[in-house]
Structure 1
Amino acid sequence: MVMGDIITGCDVLVVGGGPGGYTAAIRAAQLGKDVILVEKYDLGGVCVYRGCIPSKALIHAANFIYDIKNPGNIGIKGSVEFDLKKIQQWKFEVIKKLRDGISSLCKKYSVQVIKGEAFFESSEKARITAPDGIISTLHFENAIIATGSRPREFPGFTFDSKLVISSNEALSLFKVPEEMVIIGAGYIGMELGTTYAKLGTKVKMIQRSSRVLTRFDPQLVEVVSRKMEKLGMEVYYNSKPEGMRKENGKAIVTISSAEKKTELTADKILVSVGVIPNSERLGLENTKVELEKDGSIKVDEKRRTTDTKIFAVGDVAGAPFVAHKAFREGKVAAEVIAGLPSAFDNRAIPETAFTDPEIASVGLDEESAKESGFEIRTGKFPFRASGSALTLDRTDGFVKVIANKKNGEILGVHIVGANASMLISEASHSIEMAAFLDDLAGTIHPHPTLPEMLAEAAEVALGKAVHL
């Protein structure tokens, strides 16, 4: 594409190069479409630069350091020193490899990547503004919006990238804070809070409800809460931040609950109260695209918006705000545009929290299953009864399987414990394939491994447990 006043065109315009965007662009190109991908920053989006990848890299480093310092009863003694600047440098190298990989894939499949911002002038035309200010016009047959989301601010705590920070800045600190106040206790706040607690920060969390991680089964959260206490993390439940002031380079945060007001000191205030879909300043008012109340773009099962020429995927298309949903949505949108009978008809989307221990969940929990009219049976198998968990000295947690009492169909699986994020995929597949308890229990799992617990939990639900 020649930048300037020249008008050009393509089959598919993709706006945003995050997980949903670059996946959609590559898949559409694989299917023979002429694709242009417009990205404001770099390929990879929030996931690669300010989310999934950098957070998991830091979590791994923090866990490594913590495990050396706390080897348990294995009989190993050790001490450790670490350099956060070098850890951040290693993290950046990980990001760079992924970014370069995405760029190579786009080149391989002839996806034309343009750095700039897109603004819809109509349902078939967009204005592209390059970083140097040069503007060009692009006609398209179809467009896919994949502009992601951004951290939400909390009233009275405006982001300044220094004292009041979002997860973006929290993932790029070069010095471990002495004290950190975290507003919000969802999975992002919990992951980062646990990470910095393991690096030596005194972490204080402010949560408006009576427990953390409210999206997950309370029984799972209980296990994580116990570990939080062991790490010295303080949680102020049923509390609300009232405001802050600065004293001697630190912040004094005032919080209130039904009982009293409390002041907390901090070097950093991390605001982690959710995200906002990036649906503004796109010119959607010039199209037939409609928004939901939360600002996300309204889409159908094919990820088509209310404008037949425009699709939306990823965070901008609504919750849950997870990269693996965006990957799937991007493929669906591209395939629909190419004329394939594709749809986002998945039965369940797994969700994870890389806390300590990890939490992973897919499908219905007990409460939602009952609300949906099911009579249920459950099977629960503890890590402490797993030979593999014992050899790893990771015995906190359990696997819980929920099934339809009438026919044994698996409705949900919920895990808290070591490597829960890796165990949940088999559970997701079971639900996607409409598997039954007998299917899971009858599948031979290698021994000794953690996935055996999925089969064991199914056997508990069936009333034929051997190892419990």
Structure 2
Amino acid sequence: MADSVEVKVPDIGDFTDVPVIEILVDVGQEIAEEDPLVTLESDKATMDVPAPQAGVVRELKVALGDRVSEGTPILVLEPLSTDGGPPAAVTEEPAPPPPAEEPVERGDIHAQVVVLGAGPGGYTAAFRAADLGLKTVLVERYEKLGGVCLNVGCIPSKALLHIARVISEAEESASFGVRFGEPAVDLDALRAWKTSVVDKLTGGLAGLARQRKVEVVRGTGRFTGPHTLDVDGTSVSFDHAIIAVGSSAIELPGVSGMDSTDALELERVPERLLVVGGGIIGLELATVFDALGSRITVVELMDQLIPGCDADLVRPLHKRVAGRYEAIHLGTTVDSIDTSAYDTILVAVGRRPNGALIGAEAAGVAVDERGFIAVDEQLRTNVAHIHAIGDVVGGPMLAHKATHEGKVAAEVIAGHDVTFDARSIPSVAYTDPEVAWTGLNETEAKAQGTAYEKATFPWAASGRALGLGRPEGLTKLLVDPQTQRVLGAGMVGVSAGDLIAEVVHAIEMGAEAEDIALSIHPHPTLSETVAFAAELAEGTITDLYAPKREKARAS
């Protein structure tokens, strides 16, 4: 038999006595150079130990749970000959291949790509980079991956909004002849269910990271140079970096209250709740607490709820919540409200980017006075090997925007000729009713002087909406008056957020209204309201009498 090589734990920085959490090979298995052998986990990172050369595993010298340090034997490997034939004898362990030329001295951990922040944009970027064959490290300050969205944002809020809708539907069914008793809400059980939803997703991400051999380093990361980060005392060096540090809730000076993260903890249901901010976050949480029994007051500085959204989309939502809430104050500042009359105040006045919190100046990355980091169409910052994505680069602060940017950044680093050039990024308020829009809206068209034609289909003419007892919605398309190409869309009603994707696709592919109108939609569904709006734009609708197609032009 050929002389065997004892494979030992290599230099793993300052880590000692770390547990073996996964053994990735079996005795008798043939492995290639750099194949992972075992996975180690410290309090800050998970790391794989790679094979120094190709060979056949003859003996395992560690078991799950064993604690190891640099130099601890892992296994015995019988090397393969260089031509791939039977194992060949060696007189000593071969030297590792020479490292690639590095711009700086390596840190405790080195990667081709470091992603700072493990929210939807960050973990997507890390996974895509790993899939493209790049050694990737993902730095995250919290214990669980997923960032604000999965842990204290999009996912737990939508779980609670589902419960709110169930409660409301049970209440409203009385008008259809079916009556239920008052709901008995067990807050502990509800909170546990919400947490279980989050845990399933974040646990899945941890598994995906392990499968892709993405090394997760836990701690708060700050740049210490153009190719280095400090993560709570661990130095991480990199060839390329992707900044994906997200945003934080804005606090109002002089206003003491909870933010969205606090609200989602669901510690109690206040009798009277003042929601400061009538945007998407404030209204979604108001929807939850209203269903659970709180008396809601909303105060909004601007002259409508969901500022920036078209007024005709907001109107059905406003009408519904005005009949359920104690009060809605528009064009009003919070200091004009007697806040002492409320048990709890929820502050939801927006979010600010975290660009100023990561020591970006040490890497030479420019951060503006608001905390944003400017990037080009390939998501590069002013430092060519450092990219940035998500909330920190401006534009809509949306998880689905960040994930697409994350893929682009990873692919650019891998040498692909790609850019982020989305024609349409949808926005959704998961209120009751939901409000969704994408592409050009009327507010923007009028401000820009862009000509458009509008076609609006009322859900009062939708058999599906009537059958649901929710005919207050509408679906609207904006089209180019010359080409009839779809420019934008908006809708309000049950499941509007699920309907908007069709128009996102239409805008991305440059579709005309006719393309949608001629696509057979299932009946009776809410999705056919999109087709009906397209038929209105084309002048071919039969489900409404429309002798003259509505036209509107920017003034």
Give TM-score scaled by structure 1 length.
0.91
* Further displaced range: 27-36 or 297-306: 297-306
- Of the three residues 177, 190, 195, the one matched with 1:87 is 190
Shift of residue 402 of structure 1? 0.5
Q: Select which of 109, 114, 121 maps to 1:13.
A: 114
2:465 alignment counterpart: 389
Q: Classify 1:172/1:183 alpha carbon distance in 2 versus 1 (closer, same or farther; 3 Å).
A: same
Kindly provide the amino acid, as one letter, of the partner of residue 281 in structure 2.
I
Query: Once the 2 structures are TM-superposed, how far is the Cα of residue 3 of structure 1 from its aligned partner?
Result: 4.7
Q: Alignment partner of 1:298: what SS?
A: coil
Question: Which residue does the alignment assign to 1:182?
Answer: 275
Alignment map for 1:49-88 (pairs within 5 Å): 49-79=151-181, 80-88=183-191
The equivalent of 1:322 in structure 2 is: 398
Question: Could you tell me how far apart the structure 1 residues matched to 2:292 and 2:524 are?
Answer: 32
Q: Which residue of 201, 224, 231 maps to 1:98?
A: 201
The residue type equivalent to 1:137 in the other structure is S
SS of equivalent residue, structure 1 residue 400:
strand
Counterpart among 512, 534, 540 of residue 436 in structure 1:
512
Q: Distance in 2 between matches of 1:281 and 1:16?
A: 12
Aligned-partner SS, 1:456: helix
CA-CA distance at 1:441 after TM superposition: 0.7
Question: Helix, strand or coil: the match of 2:419?
Answer: coil
Q: For residues 184 and 339 of structure 2, what CA distance do their matches in structure 1 show?
A: 32
The equivalent residue for 2:14 is 4
SS in 1 for 2:173: coil
Superposition pairs of residues 405-424 of structure 1, within 5 angstroms? 405-424=481-500
User: Structure 1: which 5+ residue stretches go unaligned?
Assistant: 130-134, 159-163, 243-253, 256-261
In 2, the alpha carbon distance for the partners of 1:263 and 1:18 equals 34
How far 1:75 moved relative to its partner? 2.0
Shift of 1:360: 0.2
Larger gyration radius, structure 1 or structure 2: 2
DSSP-derived class of the 2:356 partner? coil
Amino acid at match of 1:393: G
Alpha-carbon spacing, 1:460–1:264, altered in 2? closer, same or farther (3 Å): farther
- How many residue pairs align between the two structures? 441
Who is 2:310 aligned against? Answer: 217
After superposition, where does 1:264-275 map in structure 2 within 5 Å?
265-275=341-351
8 Å CA contact 1:146–1:312 kept in 2: the answer is yes
Deviations 1:427-464 (A, max 9, x none): 10011111101111111111111110101001111222
RMSD: 1.5
Contact 1:403 1:412 in 2 (8 A): yes
Once residues 442 and 109 of structure 2 are traced to their aligned partners in structure 1, the CA distance between those partners, rounded to angstroms, is: 54
Asked whether 1:199 is paired with 2:300, we answer no
Partner in structure 1 of residue 250 of structure 2:
152
**CA 1:285 to 1:180, structure 2 compared with 1: closer, same or farther past 3 Å?**
same
Once the two structures are superposed, what CA deviation does each residue of 1:377-397 show, in whole Å capped at 9, x if it has no partner?
Answer: 111111111111122222111
Which residue number in structure 2 is paired with residue 172 of structure 1? 265
Distance 2:446 2:249 in 1: 34
Residues 112 and 134 in structure 2, CA contact (< 8 A), matched pair in contact too: yes
The answer for the alignment partner of 2:97 in structure 1 is none
Moved more, 290-299 or 180-189: 290-299
For residues 152-205 of structure 1, give each alpha carbon's deviation from its aligned partner in whole angstroms, at most 9, with x where no partner exists.
0011024xxxxx100001011232110111111110001111211121101111
One-letter amino acid of the structure 2 residue matched with residue 339 of structure 1: G
SS in structure 2 opposite 1:71?
helix
The answer for the alignment partner of 1:358 in structure 2 is 434
**Seq. identity, %:** 40
How is 1:179-328 mapped onto 2 (pairs within 5 angstroms)?
179-242=272-335, 254-255=336-337, 262=338, 265-328=341-404
Amino acid at match of 2:475: V
Shift of 1:374: 3.3
- For the residue of structure 1 that corresponds to 2:145, the secondary structure is coil
The CA distance in 2 between the partners of 1:414 and 1:347, in whole Å, is 15
Question: Does 2:139 correspond to 1:38?
Answer: yes
**Does the 8 A contact of 2:116 with 2:138 survive in 1?**
yes
Task: Please tell me whether the aligned partners of residues 241 and 386 of structure 2 are also in contact (alpha carbons under 8 angstroms).
Answer: yes
2:287 match: secondary structure: helix
Q: Structure 2 CA distance, aligned partners of 1:410 and 1:344?
A: 21
- For residues 62-92 of structure 1, the C-alpha deviation after alignment (integer angstroms, 9 at most, x for no partner) is 1111211221532211122221221111000
1:132 paired residue number? none
Residue 357 of structure 1 aligns with an amino acid whose one-letter code is P
* Paired AA for residue 255 in structure 2: F
Q: Distance in 2 between matches of 1:238 and 1:454?
A: 33
Shift of 1:371: 4.0
2:527 paired residue among 431, 451, 456: 451
Please tell me whether the aligned partners of residues 178 and 200 of structure 1 are also in contact (alpha carbons under 8 angstroms).
yes
Gaps of 5+ in 2: 1-10, 16-106, 545-555
Change over 3 Å in CA distance of 1:263–1:156 after alignment to 2: closer
Structure 1 residue 264: Cα displacement:
5.4
Q: Is the partner of 2:288 in helix, strand or coil? A: helix
Query: Which aligned runs of 4 or more in structure 1 are off by greater than 4 angstroms?
Result: none
Shift in CA distance, 406/291, structure 1 to aligned 2, threshold 3 Å: same
Alignment partner, residue 215 of structure 2: 112
What is aligned with 2:420? 344
**In 2, distance between residues paired with 1:91 and 1:71?**
25
What CA distance in whole angstroms lies between the structure 1 residues aligned with 2:269 and 2:390? Answer: 32
User: Aligned-pair distance for 1:373?
Assistant: 4.1
1:281 CA displacement: 3.1
Return the TM-score normalized by structure 2. 0.77
The 8 Å contact of residues 367 and 373 in structure 2, kept in 1 or not, is answered as: yes
